[in-house]
């Protein structure tokens, strides 16, 4: 079944007398990626196959041109992982990625039906891969089928984003714990999850967010599973990733204000990827207003050299690291170096999560919570 509409540029309807008509068609899809989860899409959707626009965040329908045994799954909108089969029709979104241990890719300069692009991440971000990782192999190729229409225009992630904020709301005095890292896979998500669990067990209302990286829901689900009452990420601001952004300060303020709405006792924020990298992490610390509200800064380092480099970077900026965590603190060798040579508290989130929670509580001035342990619901009856 087809229907004719007139569109131009970014898909906004215009004068039909001056434009060629563009044909739409109904299509049945097999998988809807998590990157578009806010848009409430359906397996049966109406798409256009002409006049497509290569714009970050545009919702695109593609067909899988193969299968992969490594990195061949897709995180669906509800968070479940599903294998991608050859011929699958998938809804994702155009975006970029700059992963040191993953794929590097960008939004194409132009796009049309039949173009071959790549699945850049598990969350359904789609673009042109410009550099691959040997451990993952070549990215999965996908063929562009079309783009989804809504009310005469091409659907974009911003169409369901939360309200923008240019500043942290006056009077917002909820303390922020920021967790950065020297690289991806440095233990940031683990640290945030442990803090969500242990601080909530100590009676605090905890909200958590992810400010940078590439779209996927699993980290936020982990935060919620560990006790976070509410979670938000850059995807909620209408972005498939923060790759290539000049700054993440504006979206950080939007997320902070969103997480502050229900008045939690503390907000914990993960800065995805590394402080040196292509996702704009360091720009979080460039904003004076954000930094003023950041009461604790935990930096996860992969090794002692990374810990040394992180300290040097923040020393040069006149800013602090309160706690070093991550693989650099896996045993006493790394912890001794961090504490004796760098003068920073070292705590491993995997082996000593309660100690990490104690250190955070001290720095938040919540001394009554230091040493408090959850002994279960029957403890008072013992």
Please write the tens of the pLDDT for every residue from 78-132: 999 999 999 999 999 999 999 988 999 999 999 999 999 999 999 999 999 999 9
Whether residue 102 contacts residue 133, with contact meaning beta carbons closer than 8 Å, is answered with yes
The C-alpha angle 215, 216, 220, rounded to 5 degrees, equals: 120
Helices and strands (H and E) in the chain: how many: 7, 21
What is the per-residue pLDDT for 49?
A: 95
Residue 287, number of CB atoms within 10 A of its CB: 19
User: How confident is the model at residue 227, as a pLDDT?
Assistant: 97
Helix 188-201, helix 218-225: angle, nearest 10: 20
Phi/psi of residue 287, each to 5°?
-85, 120
Number of residues in the chain: 382
Residues with Cβ < 8 Å from 218, sequence gap 6 or more?
A: 75, 79
Residue 152: pLDDT band with limits 50, 70, 90? confident
How far from the centroid of its chain's Cα atoms is residue 48's Cα?
A: 29
Does residue 145 contact residue 120 with C-beta atoms inside 8 Å? no
CA-based nearest residue to 304, from 273, 335, 277: 335
CA distances in angstroms from 199 to 1, 140, 154, 244, 273, listed in the order given: 55, 40, 43, 34, 24
What DSSP letter does each residue of 196-220 carry, written as one string? HHHHHHTT--EEEEEEESB--SHHH
What would the DSSP string read from start to end of 303-323?
SHHHHHHHHHHHHHTT----E
The pLDDT value given to residue 14: 38
Considering the four listed CATH numbers 3.40.470.10, 3.30.470.30, 3.40.50.300, 3.30.2020.30, the one that applies to the domain covering 176-372 is 3.40.50.300
Structure tokens at 308: 């040394």
Please report which helix (H) or strand (E) contains residue 223, including its range: helix 218-225
| Predicted confidence band of residue 316 (pLDDT cuts 50, 70, 90) | very high
Taking a C-beta distance cutoff of 8 angstroms, is the pair 88, 64 a contact?
A: yes
Residue 231 and residue 253: Cα distance in Å, rounded?
14
What's the CA gap between 274 and 40, in Å, rounded?
32
Q: What is the pLDDT of residue 379?
A: 56
Ordered by start, the domain boundaries in the chain are 2-160, 176-372
Q: Is the pLDDT reported for residue 3 higher than 50? A: no
pLDDT of 42 strictly over 90: yes
- Cα 33 to Cα 36: distance, rounded to the nearest angstrom: 6
pLDDT digits (tens, 9 = 90+) for 224-261: 999 999 999 999 999 999 999 999 999 999 999 999 99
Tell me the C-alpha distance between 350 and 29, whole Å.
Answer: 40
Q: Which residues pair with 125 in a beta bridge?
A: 93
Q: pLDDT at position 6, please?
A: 34
Q: Output the pTM of the full model.
A: 0.90
Tokens (6 digits) for 93: 């979104």
Mean pLDDT of the 300-313 span: 97
Which structure tokens are listed for 87? 């011929």
3-state SS assignment for residue 265: coil
């Amino acid at each position: 079944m087809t229907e004719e509409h007139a569109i131009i540029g970014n898909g906004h309807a215009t004068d039909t007398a001056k434009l060629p008509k563009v044909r739409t068609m109904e299509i049945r899809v097999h998988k809807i990626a998590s990157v578009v989860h806010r848009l409430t899409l359906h397996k049966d959707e109406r798409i256009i196959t002409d006049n497509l626009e290569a714009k970050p965040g545009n919702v695109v329908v593609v067909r899988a041109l193969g299968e992969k045994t490594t990195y061949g799954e897709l995180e669906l909108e509800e968070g479940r992982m599903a294998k991608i089969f050859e011929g699958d029709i998938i809804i994702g979104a155009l975006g970029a990625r700059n992963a040191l241990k993953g794929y590097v890719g960008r939004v194409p300069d132009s796009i049309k039906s039949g173009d071959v692009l790549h699945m850049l991440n598990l969350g359904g971000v789609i673009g042109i891969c410009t550099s691959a990782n040997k451990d993952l192999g070549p990215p999965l190729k996908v063929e562009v089928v079309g783009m989804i229409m809504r009310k005469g225009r091409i659907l974009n992630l911003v169409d369901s984003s939360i309200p923008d904020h240019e500043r942290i709301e006056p009077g917002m005095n909820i303390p922020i714990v920021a967790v950065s890292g020297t690289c991806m896979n440095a233990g940031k998500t683990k640290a945030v999850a442990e803090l969500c669990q242990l601080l909530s067990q100590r009676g605090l209302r905890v909200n958590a967010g992810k400010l940078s990286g590439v779209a996927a829901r699993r980290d936020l689900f982990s935060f919620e599973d560990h006790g976070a009452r509410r979670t938000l990420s850059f995807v909620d601001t209408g972005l498939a990733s923060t790759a290539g952004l000049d700054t993440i300060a504006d979206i950080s303020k939007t997320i902070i204000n969103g997480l502050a709405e229900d008045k939690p006792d503390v907000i914990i924020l993960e800065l995805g990827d590394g402080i040196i990298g292509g996702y704009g992490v360091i720009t979080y610390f460039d904003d004076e207003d954000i930094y003023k509200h950041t009461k604790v800064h935990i930096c996860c380092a992969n090794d002692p050299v990374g810990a040394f480099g992180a300290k040097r970077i923040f020393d040069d900026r006149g800013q602090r690291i309160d706690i070093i965590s991550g693989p650099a603190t896996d045993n006493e060798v790394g912890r001794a170096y961090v504490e004796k040579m760098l003068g920073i508290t070292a705590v491993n989130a995997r082996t000593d999560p309660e100690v990490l929670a104690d250190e955070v509580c001290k720095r938040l001035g919540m001394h009554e919570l230091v040493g408090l342990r959850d002994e279960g619901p029957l403890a008072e009856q013992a």
